[in-house]
Amino acid sequence: MSDKSIKTKNRGKKLNSTSGDIKIFSGSSGIGFSKKMCKYLGTELGDSEVINFSDGNIFLRIKETVRNKDVYVVQPIGMYPNDEFVEILFWMDALKRASANSVTAIIPYFSYAKGDKKDEPRVSIRARVCAESIELAGADRIVTMDLHSAQVQGFFKKPVDHLLSMPIMCEYVKGLTIMDNICVVSPDAGYAKTARRYADYLGVPVAIGDKTRTAHDEKAKILDIIGDVKGKNCMIVDDFSVSGGTLIEIANALQAKGAKRIIACLSHAILREKGMKAIEESPIEMLIGTDSVKNPYTMQSDKFKSVSVAPLFAEVVGRIHAKESVSTLFSTQVPKKVVDEI
């Protein structure tokens, strides 16, 4: 494989009187997301270069001064988690060695948050290892969204801003015709608390799937639906899906229970080609996901609708930089100007 380079430019456009101290850079998997953030903030991407060598090595270079600047690096850890994780470590190290005042890791999707516990013998707690590595490499703060397990925040010793996609997704769904007689559906008991937040936000009932899975690599099986879904439109909510198996199983179960129209919402759309094909052939008429990862497979599907959360992350960056509180952004109180970007 030939060497390839990704470059971005910064022409020094300023957000406000303090914008000279803020720098937003993008990792190789966060270019589009970063540009949306910069548009919201009225600035441009920092000048950098990332090269993936033919032997698999990653090289990056910051091509402008960051001395005494507050720097924000956008890099999802999602579709190619191992490469993306290693790259973000190199970003932290390069910026610290370049004398940046502070470095904030903007990680819209943190894939290894799934490895949050030692639930069987002789396994690694992967989320803790990743968290510690990112901090040791130089991160002063982390901003992420919809962690698979919220307790992963405790694996970091540095501040973690944990954002929620739920208000953004709900505001989008409010504009759909399926809102008439809708019911929110959790695929299992583990996600029921989050599903209840969706239902409360929309003012609708909730149902829960009784799901079982005997091994990591086995297909989930829906045993029953707890709640009345007959004659209702249903919105399945989950944080992520790789194969689409759980979504399709719950959709089939809902259809068997007399549900009318069925849509699904994912915080992170990391479905692969096979998964998207299965969704295309399923009773799910629309799959709504955020742009937390750049996924070529979802973008090829007419069923997939992307809702951007980049303005939400940009709002956080603006507040952090201005030394303002960001606590309201962890709840349902999303600023109108963020909602208006949907």
State which CATH number among 3.40.50.620, 1.20.1300.10, 3.40.50.2020, 3.30.460.80 fits the domain covering 4-164+309-339.
3.40.50.2020
Active site residue 211: yes
Rounded to 10 degrees, what is the CA torsion of 119, 125, 128, 129? 180
- Prediction pTM value: 0.89
Structure tokens at 198: 């969706």
Which of 70, 125, 126 is closest to 99 using CA atoms? 70
Residues near 237 by beta carbon (within 8 Å), at least 6 away in sequence:
169, 184, 185, 186, 191, 194, 195, 198, 264, 265
Neighbouring-strand partners of residue 77: 110
The amino acid at residue 237 is: V
- How far out from the chain centre does Cα 268 lie? 5
Strands 286-290 and 304-307, how do they pair?
parallel
Asked whether the beta carbons of 113 and 147 are under 8 A apart, the reply is: yes
Q: Residue 92 is which amino acid?
A: M
Determine the pLDDT at residue 13. Answer: 39
pLDDT averaged per 10 residues in sequence order, the chain, 342 residues: 42 42 90 95 93 94 95 96 97 97 97 90 94 97 94 94 94 92 93 94 94 61 86 96 92 95 96 94 96 94 95 95 88 78 78
The pLDDT score that the predictor gives to residue 189 is 87
Query: What is residue 216's predicted lDDT score, i.e. its pLDDT?
Result: 55
Q: What contacts 340, CB < 8 A, 6 or more positions away?
A: none
Q: Give the integer Cα–Cα distance in Å for 154 and 164.
A: 17
Q: Same fold for the domain at 4-164+309-339 and the one at 167-307?
A: yes
Handedness of CA 37, 41, 44, 46 (dihedral sign): negative
Output the pLDDT for position 8: 42
Half-sphere exposure of 98 toward its Cβ, with a 13 Å CA cutoff?
A: 22
Chain centre to alpha carbon of residue 253: 27
- Enumerate the domain spans of the chain: 4-164+309-339, 167-307
Residue 42 DSSP one-character state: T
For domain 167-307, say whether CATH 3.30.70.920 is its number.
no
* Annotated active-site residue in 211, 221, 336, 337: 211
